[in-house]
Amino acid sequence: MKNKQYKLDIIPGIVLAVFSIAYLSMIPSIQTFTGLGSTPLTNHFIPYLWGGVLLFLSLWIIVRGLRKRKKYLAEGGKIEKTSLKAILMEKREVVASFIALGLYVGLMGVIGFLITTVVYLFVQILILTPREKWKKNYVPAAITAVVAGVVLFFIFRYVLNVLLPVGILSVFGL
């Protein structure tokens, strides 16, 4: 139902409001320059402006969301509680993709680009493949992961000179 969209106002509004308050509270500790040639508006002004505007806008959408909610309830709508766990389950491929991506970039520095890329590609391909088709895709996914990983590593590291981390493979003199 369309009216349920109040949630899309209230929740982001609260998150953004908290974020802007945190941002605003950090501004006073920024060093300012007041010597010769300094500008009347210091480097605090613009952060205060953006932070303030963001806080105002997030309060605006919170109020708008609350109004929508009131209207929705007045029209006989029921508030259904969906647990965070249910949402995460519903979006499990997205959650898994973000975890895989996070681990990928997090471990790349230590383990190295080549190994993490091959593993990541394999895992990510399977995440994006429907569960019932996994069996058929193990081999093609593994081949794609190894070939793409090796080709990309050597092209970018040695032909295009991008400093990709070598990690533990450095013992082989790569």
Partner 1 sequence: MILQGLTEVLQPMTIILIAIGTVVGIVFGSIPGLTATMAIVMFLPVTYSMTASEGISMLMALYIGGISGGLISAILLNIPGTPSSVATCFDGKPLADKGEAGKALGTGVVFSFIGTIIGIGLLMVLAPALCDFALKFQAYEYCALTVFSLSMVIALTGHDMPKGLISAVLGALLATVGLAPIDSKPRFTFGLYQLNNGFALVVLLIGLFAIAEVMSYAETVRQNQDFTIRSNVKIKGVGFTFKEFVGQIRNAIVSALIGVGIGILPGIGGGVSCMISYTVSKNTSKHRELYGTGIMDGVVASEAANNGTIGGAMIPLLSLGIPGDAATAMLLGGLQVHNVAPGPLIYEKSGNVVYAIFFAMVLSAIFMMLFMLLGMRFFVSVLKVPKNYLLPVVVVLCAIGAIGNANMLFDTYCMVGFGLMSYLLIKSKVPTVPMILGFILGPTFEQNLRRVSQLTSSDPFWNHPIFCVLIIATVFVVIFSVRSNLKDAKRAEQAELEAMQKAGSDE
Binding site for partner 1 (CB under 8 A): 2, 5, 8, 11-12, 16, 23, 26, 30-33, 38-41, 43, 45-47, 50-51, 53-54, 57-58, 60-61, 64, 75, 91, 93-94, 96-98, 101-102, 104-106, 108-109, 117, 120-121, 124-125, 127-130, 137, 140-141, 144, 148-149, 152, 156, 160-165
Looking from the CA of 45 toward its CB, the CA atoms found within 13 Å total 6
* CA dist., res. 52 & res. 58, Å (int): 10
Q: Which is nearer to partner 1, 161 or 171 (CB)?
A: 161
* CA dist., res. 56 & res. 143, Å (int): 52
- Number of Cβ within 10 Å of residue 24's Cβ equals 16
Taking the complex as a whole, the smallest distance from the CB of residue 159 to partner 1 amounts, in Å, to 8
Taking the complex as a whole, the smallest distance from the CB of residue 136 to partner 1 amounts, in Å, to 12
Taking the complex as a whole, the smallest distance from the CB of residue 172 to partner 1 amounts, in Å, to 20
Taking the complex as a whole, the smallest distance from the CB of residue 40 to partner 1 amounts, in Å, to 5
Cβ atoms of 94 and 46 closer than 8 Å: no
Closest C-alpha to 65, from 3, 6, 5, 4: 6
